[in-house]
Amino acid sequence: MTKSVFITGATSGFGRAAARRFAEAGYSLVLTGRRRERLEELEQELSGKVAVHVVELDVRDEAAVKKAVDELPEAFASIHVLLNNAGLALAPEPAQDVALEDWHTMIDTNVKGMVNVTHALLPTLIDIGAGASIINIGSTAGKWPYKGSHVYGATKAFVEQFSYNLRCDLHGTGVRVTDIAPGMAETEFTLVRTKGDQAASDQLYGNTTPMSAEDIAEQMFYVATLPAHLNINFLEIQPVRQVWAGMAVDRD
């Protein structure tokens, strides 16, 4: 049976680029996200090449996630790769100015959404065994603190530790687990984080060379298609023109 990849957040950015990359290699695609029209556009684009199954899905909805997995058509049941990519940052302002709801949304999506999908697909991935991969999208923000990262960075630290711990539990099953932690990449990420401020997004990515969604999709594909006896635990990747923030000093 053709290998399938299950992608969360396939309507934009890394997830959409990954759909195209895996389609190039002949994988069947299970594409999920909340924006149905985007899913349908991608289905139309790629279904001439490979089999495509789209599911309008909010990863925060535990019951809907379980239903989507339980109702996977037979032709898509052979999930070799789970790309836990859906996620977002909100509220770039300091913690003390943030609406609590925005923190909850990040935790519900980046943490609970990821575990919802992982939990639902674990039996399938374990059935596949050797060569199956879970790829969780973390972030440099999960390791390196900066102002305005507060709960976002903390959710990505969760992604890293969850990935390592999951790997321990899956030891012996053949299923691999990787945290890919990108730095700055130009997608709709900043537009979402700023609630639609295109100028802020243009400014962040302007006059420098950010990574592209395709750069990250290539890493996802690389990790998923390594020989079955290899596991990359953590893959941190940045544009050459980005480094860490310096120490900050409060002065009189």
Q: DSSP string of 117-162?
A: HHHHHHHHHHHH-TT-EEEEE--GGGTS--TT-HHHHHHHHHHHHH
Does position 59 bind ligand NDP by CB under 6 A?
Answer: yes
Rounded Cα distance between 104 and 226, Å, is 36
Cα angle 44, 50, 55; round to 5: 60
* Residue 38 CA: distances (Å) to CA of 11, 56, 70, 129, 200: 5, 10, 23, 32, 24
Q: Which is nearer to ligand NDP, 85 or 124 (CB)?
A: 85
Q: Which is nearer to ligand 8X3, 51 or 237 (CB)?
A: 237
Q: Which stretch binds ligand NDP (CB under 6 A): 82-90, 169-177, 223-231, 242-250?
A: 82-90
Q: Which is nearer to ligand NDP, 231 or 242 (CB)?
A: 242
Rounded Cα distance between 52 and 57, Å, is 15
Distance of CA 229 to the CA centre of its chain: 23
CB of 173 to ligand NDP, least distance (A): 25
Find the helix or strand (DSSP H, E) in which 234 lies.
strand 234-237
Q: Which is nearer to ligand NDP, 103 or 128 (CB)?
A: 103
Does position 153 bind ligand NDP by CB under 6 A?
Answer: no
Does position 163 bind ligand NDP by CB under 6 A?
Answer: no
* Residue 208 CA: distances (Å) to CA of 14, 184, 202, 211, 215: 19, 11, 11, 10, 16
Which parts of this chain interact with ligand 8X3 (CB under 6 A)? Answer: 139-141, 149, 183-184
Which sequence positions are flagged as catalytic?
152
Binding partner of 9, given ligand 8X3, ligand NDP, none, CB within 5-8 angstroms per partner class: ligand NDP
Please answer whether residues 153 and 109 qualify as being in contact, where contact means their C-beta atoms are separated by less than 8 angstroms: no
Site for ligand NDP in 7-26 (CB under 6 A): 8-9, 11-15
Place of tokens 């949304």: 105
The one among 98, 192, 204, 232 contacting ligand NDP by CB under 6 A: 192
Q: Which is nearer to ligand NDP, 92 or 128 (CB)?
A: 92
Residues engaged in binding ligand NDP (CB under 6 A): 8-9, 11-15, 33-35, 38, 57-60, 85-88, 109, 113, 137, 139, 182, 184-185, 187-189, 192
